[in-house]
Amino acid sequence: MEVTQLDRITPFVTKDGSEIRELLAYRNSSIRHQSLAEARLPVGGATQEHYHPLAEEIYYFTAGLGRIRIEAEVREVGPGDAVAIPPGRRHKLWNTGAGALHLLCCCAPAYEHSDTVITEGEAAPQAVQAAEAICRPDPVQP
């Protein structure tokens, strides 16, 4: 049996600027096809708008208040809300509350920097090229 403890996991910053603690994924467990992480956004913080060519995500909010945009749709979110983010959908998250915004993120396949395409700011043009390379089918071998 594998059990992890959130407080014992070293956080890292994702390509979109979120601080996450990866609870379970292929990097630290026998899980192979998905990942579960806790993300935190500080007061006034926001992620960079981005999408994932391959991964679908579920965000489950555990503390704080925020606003999420998926493509053109915007919703307020808070504890108990779960949000489905299909692959390829541009999304951005803001902390609109007085405390840190906490959420659980489930990604299938597991989160990877290489599967994150930034669509705003300086990183956007290079990231779009990287995403196109990921999505391009392998050439047919004779």
Burial class (CB within 10 angstroms; exposed 0-12, middle 13-18, buried 19+) of 7? exposed
Per-residue pLDDT for 89 more than 70?
A: yes
In a domain, 67, yes or no: yes
Looking at the structure of the chain, the number of domains it has is 1
Q: What is the pTM of this model?
A: 0.83
Q: How far is CA 39 from the centre of its chain?
A: 8
| Local structure of residue 109 (DSSP, 8 states) | S
CATH number at residue 96: 2.60.120.10
Query: For residues 47 and 56, what is the distance between their CA atoms, to the nearest angstrom?
Result: 17
Per-residue pLDDT tens digits for 3-41: 999 999 999 888 888 899 999 999 999 999 999 999 999
Contacts of residue 43, defined as CB under 8 A and 6 or more positions apart, other chains included, come to 95, 97, 98, 99, 100
In a domain, 33, yes or no: yes
Give me the DSSP letters along 58-99: EEEEEES-EEEEETTEEEEE-TT-EEEE-TT--EEEEE-SSS
Per-residue pLDDT tens digits for 65-82: 999 999 999 999 999 999
In a domain, 41, yes or no: yes
